[in-house]
Amino acid sequence: MSTIKDKLKTNKGFTLQDLIFALMAIMLFVGVIGSVYVSLYKVKLETQTSSLATIYAIKMLEYMDKINYDKITQEDEEKLVNEMKREFSVPSSFDVSLNVTQYTPGWSTEDYVKFLRLSIKNTINEEENELVFEKIKVKEL
């Protein structure tokens, strides 16, 4: 009987406790590495989407610079947005809106300055992101 007991107590193999501890340590490291990977992927996706929206916004603002001052009106905001979305092939996941506001100081009735507010919204993982760009359009005399 003592020979079986001596054989079991020798250090020639792994016990069940050793295997469970090793398995738990591996699972812990896999969980940490997996969560870091997912977090990095989300940040990468948000950064890429934000940079793409910024590129589209810059193109649209430059396009509005080329348009005649009188063609940018509050009544034509939606028409202008649709035209720019078609011109630059903006994906449907981006919600683009334009707000045109005329600036007329109290002492003047002339229309020489307009404030343009371009907003681009998109949704990533049920989280809405919005980039807002503002520009001043001045009538050239």
Domain boundaries, the chain: 16-138
Question: Does residue 1 register a pLDDT over 70?
Answer: no
Mean pLDDT (whole number) for 65-75: 89
Question: Does residue 59 register a pLDDT over 90?
Answer: yes
In this predicted structure, what is the pLDDT of residue 10? Answer: 64
In this predicted structure, what is the pLDDT of residue 5? Answer: 65
Cα 61 from Cα 54, distance rounded (Å): 10
What does pLDDT average to over the chain? 87
Mean pLDDT (whole number) for 114-136: 91
Total H helices, total E strands in the chain: 3, 3
Lowest mean pLDDT among 38-42, 46-50, 137-141: 137-141
Q: Which of 84, 89, 94, 96 is nearest to 48 (CA)?
A: 94
Per-residue tokens: 61: 């603002």
Mean pLDDT (whole number) for 16-44: 92
Coil, helix or strand at residue 8: helix
Q: Compute the residue count for the chain.
A: 141
**pLDDT band, very low/low/confident/very high, at 130 (cuts 50, 70, 90):** very high
In this predicted structure, what is the pLDDT of residue 33? Answer: 95
